[in-house]
Amino acid sequence: MLLFYVYIINLVFSRTTCCSIPHLRRLFHQGPEIRRLLLLFSTPHITIHSSPLRRSPLLHCSATPSQQQYTHTIAFCSASSSTHGLNTSVAHYCVLSQPANISFVVGFCDRLLPFVLHAAHHHSSFSAASRSPLFTLHHSNSKHTASTKNMVCYIDCFLRCFIIFSLLHSLAIKHTESPANRVFLLPSTTSWASSLSAPAMGRSSAPSSSPPKKKQKQSVVAPSSAAPSSAAPSSKASMVVSQRYPAVKTVGETQRSRYANLSKRPVFPNKYVSDYAIGQLEIVAELSHKLEKVGWTDLLIMDEPSYATLTYEFLSSFTVTSEGSLSFRIANQSHVITKAELATMFGWQLVEQHPLPKDYATPFWLKITGLPSTESYKAQSASASSIISHCYRYFARLLSFTMFGRAESNNKIQTGELALLYYFDAELPVDWTSLLIERFLYHAQKCKGALVMGGFITRIAEELAIFDRTTTNLKVVEGWSSELDSEYLIGMKMLRRSGKAVHAVPHQRHDVEPMEELAEPAQTLEEQVAEIKANQIQIIQSQERMGKQLDDISASIQRYFSDPTP
């Protein structure tokens, strides 16, 4: 236990503490109050920004492009504010990373940090890109006196000491030993006394040579008429037992046949949002606003990897019961959940889908592409590169690599993507839950083609607390980058590399007013026939004139050679 205390103190005071935590975003699918209490630290002003997103590319504005490509650091804090603004009870704290090394940034309760930093905001600046576990106060004016410098040091020391006492007296820490996967979960519901008595906490710093214990009972989720409250804190993460994923045992001829067919199909990872890429495209605000309107803000922070065995077992057993519940198997365990529970896992709302307008496809396609009115929408030839807006085009590719689960084959906008782009443009809510169920059934019964749905299945398994990506022996599938990153967008000619930096490339029809082109009346069939006849008459008359000119030239030549006089 003494080593545990030393580790905490070292964590707080060390300015070079780094770790990799690519698996922690699932801990914050607990409700909107945790999602909205995101604390970002902006430079050069000492302010705190609240955002509905749990991860925001605005944090990387002060970093270099090289840092932006591999560093994603966010601190979350949900705390009950006190009357006087000083509250030492921090409900949740965690650092999320994608995909590799990160620096720790500590989130304080929403009233503490502005209160403390108010006295020093004229004398220092805050660096969000520093590698300090708390923060670094940089002296910004050489004319400041020694007393001013001391004041900054006192504030820095006070905040660090405050975090130590908060950790030791208010919070419990769950720590996985693997250096590449360290988890820091600080639930406010766990008292200091209970954290002292927890036997696993004292042993978590040393790896165990004994095999993991097996679960005694099969985990079955019974159908429920109501969705569980997303605002209630969950202890699912602490229930996950470290164990090897068992060999899949199919049940029934249907699953056996499906599993045999699915196992012949390759599995590729989903592609998710790249903070750096959307920042360079300058679509952060528009994309987040549109996703909030259609009801899928969680798409901005999804990062679940894919596992072939998990994907095959889930899809081979996935069915919809007569009562409307969803039945499937994971790790040889049968599970039944409701549609509402599935929606809660992804932060969706069960909404009534607005019907699409009749014959909307061609007018809407011409609107977002700026093509002339003579064109029409055809799924076989509708190229995504025709879309003018970078935001709409990026969203369409995200849908292809996530919800529709398509491998990279062509750059076409299918009817499904076009329909969702219409809702995206009209800012209408989408029934994502029904769409995901439909896609699961489609891929389960499809006979060929790659599977790009593993990220959704991993999320479901982790939400049910029967799978832990940090301890599983399953291998993460690879094949391409798990982000719709700048390299991919350079290939799509949405970004252009200039030295070490990349810049957005405006669409060639960016300045075209498509509505003006649509307003031009098209020719009727009779007018087109009359125009063709007039052209034919002009051609005949031109040929007659050329014939007369040739006859005159020929007669002149004959007279020249037949005339005997010199």
- At 129-163, the pLDDT tens digits run 333 333 333 333 334 444 554 554 555 555 555 55
Asked if residue 503 belongs to a domain, the reply is: yes
- Residue that is last in its domain, among 203, 220, 250: 203
Residues 307 and 268 in one domain: yes
CB atoms within 10 A of CB 493: 11
Q: Tell whether 228 is covered by a domain.
A: no
Sorted by sequence, the CB contacts under 8 Å of residue 93 that are 6+ apart come out as 75, 76, 77, 106, 107, 171, 184, 186
What's the CA gap between 237 and 43, in Å, rounded? 34
Q: Is the domain of 505 the same as that of 540?
A: no
Q: What per-residue confidence (pLDDT) applies to 137?
A: 35
The C-alpha atoms of residue 16 and residue 398 are separated, in whole angstroms, by 35
Domains of the chain: total: 3
Residue 273: inside a domain, yes or no?
A: yes
- The helix or strand, by DSSP H or E, that contains position 262, with its residue range, turns out to be helix 252-262
23 shares a domain with 82: yes
Q: Both 37 and 85 in a single domain?
A: yes
Are 281 and 313 contained in the same domain?
Answer: yes
Domain contains 372: yes
Give the CA angle between residues 63, 64, 66 to the nearest 5°.
Answer: 120
Q: Let me know if residue 317 belongs to a domain.
A: yes
Query: Does the pTM exceed 0.85?
Result: no
pLDDT for res 243: 64
In whole angstroms, what is the distance from residue 38 CA to residue 261 CA? 44
- The reply to whether 22 and 163 lie within a common domain is yes
Residue 290 located in a structural domain: yes
Question: What 3 state SS string does 143-175 have?
Answer: CCCHHHHHHHHHHHHHHHHHHHHHHHHHCCCEC
Sign of the four-CA dihedral 482, 488, 494, 500? positive
Structure tokens at 236: 């699912």
Residue 224 within any structural domain of the chain? no
pLDDT at 377: 93
Residue 539 and residue 417 share a domain: no
Distance CA 541, CA 547 (A): 10
Bond prior to 44 in cis (omega within 30° of 0)? yes
Q: Give whole-number Cα distances, 517 to 19, 366, 373, 487, 521, in Å.
A: 55, 9, 7, 34, 9
Q: What is the domain extent for residue 162?
A: 2-203
Average pLDDT of each block of 10 consecutive residues along the chain (566 residues)?
Answer: 42 37 38 37 29 32 32 31 30 31 34 42 36 35 46 56 51 37 32 30 33 35 36 39 78 92 92 92 94 94 93 95 92 94 94 91 93 89 91 94 82 91 95 96 87 94 90 88 88 87 79 41 65 83 85 81 64
Residue 316: per-residue pLDDT: 95
